[in-house]
Chains A and B, each alone.
Chain A
Amino acid sequence: SQELEQSPQSLIVQEGKNLTINCTSSKTLYGLYWYKQKYGEGLIFLMMLQKGGEEKSHEKITAKLDEKKQQSSLHITASQPSHAGIYLCGADPNAGNMLTFGGGTRLMVKP
């Protein structure tokens, strides 16, 4: 079975700083999703990556899927308090929308 490991597990940054969250898979990734979750709430879809080398951006958040398709990174530029929450990467090992998730990265942004 596919396992996803996220690093770091938690992160505290000063407002305005850049940060990167990594998601490493035990197997080749076919479809990698990034979601954001506010504590105790549902998941908000951020981006989906499919092709090795693919990079997508939404506002100040950029996600990449590496060429070998076993790692993805999520980069936030000039962080704001509104970026705080839990970031989750999810893989779709059987291309059936039955997602396997990493353990999450808890981000706090200090004003």
Chain B
Amino acid sequence: ETGVTQSPTHLIKTRGQQVTLRCSSQSGHNTVSWYQQALGQGPQFIFQYYREEENGRGNFPPRFSGLQFPNYSSELNVNALELDDSALYLCASNRGGHNTDTQYFGPGTRLTVL
């Protein structure tokens, strides 16, 4: 148990729809990162939030957006879903301001886009 939870566990959407995935970070962790893991591949960094501000972004289009809240929860929103968005979405949290602090991952949300 890492103390990081995600909801829902599984989700099925159709192309063009919008989706919101949720993450609850470990207590005391003010940095949250989101990753996309396609089947058979390693996770790819989407973006990171630190103290409710976007702190860094990977190579993902603007239709991927996020929010972080003061209560250690965060959201990943994806608009105009495409078939290639089908993946396992992972969030990870760590203490901010500690460059070598370990990230702890949640169990993931499996998104299927039909």
Contact = CB atoms under 8 A, between A and B. Distances in A.
A48 B43 contact: no
Contacts of A94: 56
Contacts of B35: 99, 101
A33 B41 CA distance: 17
Given A97-B31, A97-B99, A97-B103, A40 B45 contact: no
Contacts of B31: 97
Interface string A75-96: 0000000000000101010111
Interface string B68-81: 00000000000000
B55 A35 contact: no
A4 B110 CA distance: 24
A98 B41 contact: no
Given A100-B45, A102-B42, A103-B42, A42 B107 contact: yes
B108 interface: yes
Interface residues of B, number: 31
A95 B43 contact: no
Nearest to A86: B42
Interface centre among B55, B94, B99, B106 (most CB of A within 10 A): B99
A42 B42 contact: no
B85 to A, nearest CB: 17
A96 B56 contact: yes
Contact of A101 (B2, B40, B43, B110): B43
Which 5 A-B pairs have CB atoms at the shortest separation, nearest pair first? A101-B42, A43-B105, A42-B107, A95-B99, A42-B105
Interface of B: 2, 4, 6, 31, 33, 35, 40-45, 48, 55-56, 58, 88, 90, 92, 94, 99-108, 110
Given A42-B107, A43-B90, 12 more contacts: A31-B99, A40-B108, A40-B110, A42-B4, A45-B103, A50-B100, A97-B101, A97-B103, A98-B33, A99-B43, A101-B43, A104-B41
Interface of A: 4, 31, 33, 35, 40-45, 48, 50, 88, 90, 92, 94-104
